[in-house]
């Protein structure tokens, strides 16, 4: 059942190249245009949308957070990302011109279902990005964009996250194409980068998995971890911290790197492991700020574990460990940088002898509010 892997989580981490490829498959035609046959929302409505609200919980919400950066950039439509359980209790501003996008692996998360019902009552069209065929969310939404990640058995989400980002990116590029926000060659360019991601994820696993697993075992006695990221690296930091909490039961917090000096830096002390997700040096404004953050925490004694692009040597003097990731445009970065964080969390949990597939107190789908 586990395909030769020790745990379902290991199997599902290794299925990520296929999950991304399958989510892309059949959705781009021979002219390079995105065709979402399942998009049963009138194109005129999609053209008139003036706001997108993404509703989700947990890892799915972090996928939505990543998507916000891409969709706003491509479509020039404001995107709000809302935790489903907060949404309907705060009188949200929703109208016929709002497109609600619900993201869920299971399609059965009650918080998300209730939020979607509320959005529909206010006249919003709802698009569900779900992994489970025929699930409640898939049935209740106006349209469904399936992530074709295959069944995810481990309680901690891995391949669903990558497939959700991929589906959100297809949606963003589709809307850009429909609304004429981007030149066709720019959409084609991003689609080409997306198409390269399965091979890059595989290269990353082949090249770094063993080292990251060893690092997880080495740091198994640590009781607290920080994760820092900026731009799309920020939701990746949040997801890295969530994986570690869920699997290894240790305190882990993700921060927007720029927030460090507004408070969290007070937590840094000798030996505290800090993961830092560094943007590509081809975005120097972003990159250099994050590199200074590494220096700041290192100067206060942190053990820095840096996730950086292949060939980015600027991080070397400040990094205790560097995890190298293939070169890719910034918006594609989450599809790679989260992978070592998943591997790390599983390795640390394994070293502690914990049940990786069934962490304590958690259920695969949360079907009560
Ligand atoms: O099935 P869903 O995607 O709606 O589930 C949402 C969250 O409950 C889920 O992502 C949860 O946070 C996972 N345990 C994360 O690993």
CA of 18 to the centre of ligand 1 (A): 20
Residue written as token pair 């021979």: 30
Pocket probe for ligand 1: among 8, 12, 19, 57, the residue whose CB has the most ligand atoms within 8 Å is: 57
| Mean pLDDT of the region 188-210 | 97
CB under 8 Å to 201, separation ≥6 — which residues? 16, 17, 20, 162, 335, 336, 339
Would you say residue 181 has pLDDT above 80? no
Tokens of 304: 């820095």
- pLDDT value for 1: 81
Would you say residue 19 has pLDDT above 90? yes
CB under 8 Å to 180, separation ≥6 — which residues? none
CB under 8 Å to 173, separation ≥6 — which residues? 34, 74, 182, 187, 190, 191
| Mean pLDDT of the region 24-46 | 89
Would you say residue 88 has pLDDT above 90? no
Ranges assigned E (strand) in the chain: 51-56, 79-83, 98-104, 125-130, 143-146, 224-229, 251-256, 273-277, 303-309, 321-325
What percent of the chain stands above pLDDT 70?
100
Work out which ligand 1 atom sits closest to the CA atom of 161: 10
CA distance 210 to 208: 6
Strands 98-104 and 143-146: unpaired
Pocket probe for ligand 1: among 9, 58, 129, 154, the residue whose CB has the most ligand atoms within 8 Å is: 58
Active site (catalytic) residues: 364
CA of 103 to the centre of ligand 1 (A): 10
Tokens of 314: 């600027």
Work out which ligand 1 atom sits closest to the CA atom of 105: 3
Ranges assigned E (strand) in 41-119: 51-56, 79-83, 98-104
Confidence of residue 57 (pLDDT cuts 50, 70, 90): very high
- Measured in whole angstroms, how far is the alpha carbon of residue 258 from the centre of its chain? 19
CA of 180 to the centre of ligand 1 (A): 34
Burial of 301 (0-12, 13-18, 19+ CB in 10 A): exposed
Using CB distances shorter than 6 Å, the residues near ligand 1 are 57-60, 104-106, 109, 112, 155-157, 246, 362, 365-366
CA of 61 to the centre of ligand 1 (A): 8
Would you say residue 115 has pLDDT above 80? yes
Nearest CA to ligand 1 atom 7: 58
Pocket probe for ligand 1: among 62, 63, 109, the residue whose CB has the most ligand atoms within 8 Å is: 109
Q: Which residues pair with 81 in a beta bridge?
A: 54
Nearest CA to ligand 1 atom 9: 58
Neighbours of 219 (CB within 10 A): 20
Would you say residue 4 has pLDDT above 80? yes
CA of 186 to the centre of ligand 1 (A): 33
Would you say residue 182 has pLDDT above 80? no
CA 23 to each of CA 148, 161, 188, 204, 321: distance values in angstroms, whole numbers, following the listed order: 5, 12, 17, 20, 33
């Amino acid at each position: 059942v586990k395909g030769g892997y020790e745990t379902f989580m290991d199997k599902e981490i290794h299925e990520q190249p296929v999950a991304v490829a399958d989510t892309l498959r059949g959705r781009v035609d021979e002219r390079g245009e995105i065709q979402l046959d399942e998009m049963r929302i009138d194109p005129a409505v999609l053209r008139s949308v003036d706001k997108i609200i993404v509703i989700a919980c947990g890892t799915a919400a972090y996928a939505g957070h990543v998507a916000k950066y891409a969709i706003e950039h491509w479509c020039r439509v404001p995107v709000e990302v809302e935790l489903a359980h907060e949404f309907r209790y705060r009188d949200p501003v929703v109208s016929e011109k709002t497109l609600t996008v619900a993201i869920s692996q299971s399609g059965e998360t009650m918080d998300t279902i209730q939020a979607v019902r509320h959005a529909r009552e206010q006249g919003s069209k709802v698009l569900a990005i779900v992994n489970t065929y025929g699930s409640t969310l898939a049935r209740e939404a106006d349209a469904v964009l399936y992530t074709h990640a295959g069944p995810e058995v481990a309680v901690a989400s891995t391949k669903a996250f990558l497939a959700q980002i991929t589906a959100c990116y297809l949606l963003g590029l589709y809307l850009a194409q429909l609304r004429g926000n981007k030149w066709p060659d720019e959409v084609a360019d991003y689609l080409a980068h997306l198409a390269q991601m399965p091979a890059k994820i595989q290269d990353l696993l082949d090249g770094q998995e063993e080292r990251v697993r060893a690092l997880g075992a080495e740091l198994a006695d640590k009781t607290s971890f920080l994760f820092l990221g900026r731009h799309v690296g920020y939701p990746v930091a949040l997801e890295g911290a969530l994986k570690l909490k869920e699997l290894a039961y240790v305190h882990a917090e993700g921060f927007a790197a720029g927030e460090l000096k507004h408070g969290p830096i007070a937590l840094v002390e000798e030996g505290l492991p800090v993961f830092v997700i560094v943007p590509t040096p081809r975005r120097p404004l972003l990159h250099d700020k994050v590199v200074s953050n590494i220096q700041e925490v290192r100067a206060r004694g942190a053990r820095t574990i840096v996730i950086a692009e292949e060939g980015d040597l600027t991080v070397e003097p400040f990094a205790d460990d560097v995890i190298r990731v293939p070169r890719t445009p910034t918006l594609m970065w989450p599809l790679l940088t989260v992978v070592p964080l998943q591997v790390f969390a599983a390795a640390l949990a394994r070293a502690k002898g914990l049940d990786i597939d069934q962490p304590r107190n958690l259920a695969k789908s949360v079907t009560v509010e």
